[in-house]
Structure 1
Amino acid sequence: MTLARIGFACQYRHHQRDLSLKELKALEGALNPRTTTLRWMDSVTAQVAGEKLRQVVEHNLQAQKRLLDYVAQLPLARRMLRLSSDLLPFYSHPRVAAFYRDPDVASLLERGFAVMGEVARQADIRLSFHPGQYCVLGSDRPEVVDNSLAEFEYHADMIRMMGYGACFQDFKCNVHIAGRLGVDGIRSVWPRLSQVARNCITFENEEKIYGVDDCLQLTDLAPVVLDIHHCWINENDYIAPDDPRVARIIDSWRGVRPVMHYSQPSESLEQLGFAAWQKLEMDALLRVVSKRDLYGHSARMWNAWTNAYALRFLDRFDIMFEAKDKNLAAEAFYQQYVVGDLQHVADGPSSVHRGEL
Structure 2
Amino acid sequence: MNIGYACTPLKIHNKTTRTFTLKNYTEEKLIECIKFNLEDLYEILKYNAYNDIFMFRISSDIIPFGSHEINKLNWSNIFKDDLKKINDIITKNSIRISMHPGQYTVLNSKNLSTVEKSINDLEYHAKFLDSISNDKSNKIILHIGGAYDNKKDSINRFLNVYNSLSKNVKDRLVIENDEKNYSIEDLLYINEHVQIPIIYDNLHYLCYEGVDTDSFKILNSIKDTWKKRDGKIKVHYSQQAIDKRIGSHSNTIFINSFLNYLKSIKDFDIDIMLEVKDKDFSSTKIVNVLKELNNTLDESNKLSALKTYEFYLKERNLELYNEAEYILYENGMIEFYKFIDKCASINIDEALSLKALKEFYLCTEKFLSKSEITHLNKLFKNNDVYKAKEYIIKISRRNKLDDNLKNYFLHNI
TM-score interval for Structure 1 and Structure 2 normalised by the shorter chain: 0.7 to 0.9
CA distance in 2, matches of 1:354, 1:123: 30
| Paired position in structure 2 for 1:234 | 208
CA contact (8 A) 1:202 1:224 kept: yes
CA contact (8 A) 1:183 1:218 kept: yes
1:110 aligns with 2:85: no
1:85 aligns with 2:60: yes
| Paired position in structure 2 for 1:308 | 260
- Aligned residue pairs total 290
Mapping 1:1-357, distance limit 5 Å: 4-14=1-11, 27-28=12-13, 30-41=14-25, 49-75=26-52, 78-94=53-69, 96-98=70-72, 100-101=73-74, 105-164=75-134, 169-179=136-146, 180=148, 181-219=153-191, 220-243=194-217, 245-255=218-228, 256-266=231-241, 268-269=242-243, 293-302=245-254, 304-313=256-265, 315-316=267-268, 317-335=270-288, 337-340=289-292, 357=341
Q: What letter matches 2:86 in structure 1?
A: M
Q: 1:198 to 1:334 in 2, by over 3 A?
A: same
CA contact (8 A) 2:45 2:90 kept: yes
* Alpha-carbon shift at residue 115 of structure 1 (Å): 2.1
Secondary structure class of the residue paired with 2:80: helix
* Alpha-carbon shift at residue 334 of structure 1 (Å): 2.5
State the Cα deviation string for residues 27-75 of structure 1 (Å, max 9, x = none): 51x344311111333xxxxxxx221121111001111011111122133
* Alpha-carbon shift at residue 136 of structure 1 (Å): 0.5
State the Cα deviation string for residues 82-129 of structure 1 (Å, max 9, x = none): 1111111112111x232x24xxx4422333223212210111111111
CA distance in 1, matches of 2:186, 2:87: 33
Q: What letter matches 1:211 in structure 2?
A: S
Structure label with greater radius of gyration: 2
CA contact (8 A) 1:6 1:319 kept: yes
Q: What letter matches 2:91 in structure 1?
A: R
Q: 1:65 to 1:260 in 2, by over 3 A?
A: same
CA contact (8 A) 1:113 1:161 kept: yes
Q: What letter matches 2:277 in structure 1?
A: K
CA distance in 2, matches of 1:97, 1:311: 47
CA contact (8 A) 1:117 1:162 kept: yes
CA contact (8 A) 1:33 1:64 kept: no
Q: TM-score if structure 1 supplies the norm length? A: 0.75
Q: What letter matches 1:90 in structure 2?
A: F
CA distance in 1, matches of 2:63, 2:174: 22
* Superposition RMSD in Å: 2.3
CA contact (8 A) 1:304 1:356 kept: no
CA contact (8 A) 2:16 2:62 kept: no
CA contact (8 A) 1:113 1:158 kept: no
Q: What letter matches 2:20 in structure 1?
A: T
CA distance in 2, matches of 1:119, 1:199: 22
Q: 1:194 to 1:110 in 2, by over 3 A?
A: farther
In the alignment, structure 2 segments of 5+ residues that lack a partner are 295-336, 342-413
Q: TM-score if structure 2 supplies the norm length? A: 0.65
Q: What letter matches 1:309 in structure 2?
A: Y
Q: What letter matches 1:238 in structure 2?
A: D
Q: What letter matches 1:176 in structure 2?
A: H
* Alpha-carbon shift at residue 241 of structure 1 (Å): 2.9
Secondary structure class of the residue paired with 1:320: strand
Q: Which is helix-richer, 1 or 2?
A: 2
CA distance in 1, matches of 2:44, 2:157: 36
Q: What letter matches 1:260 in structure 2?
A: V
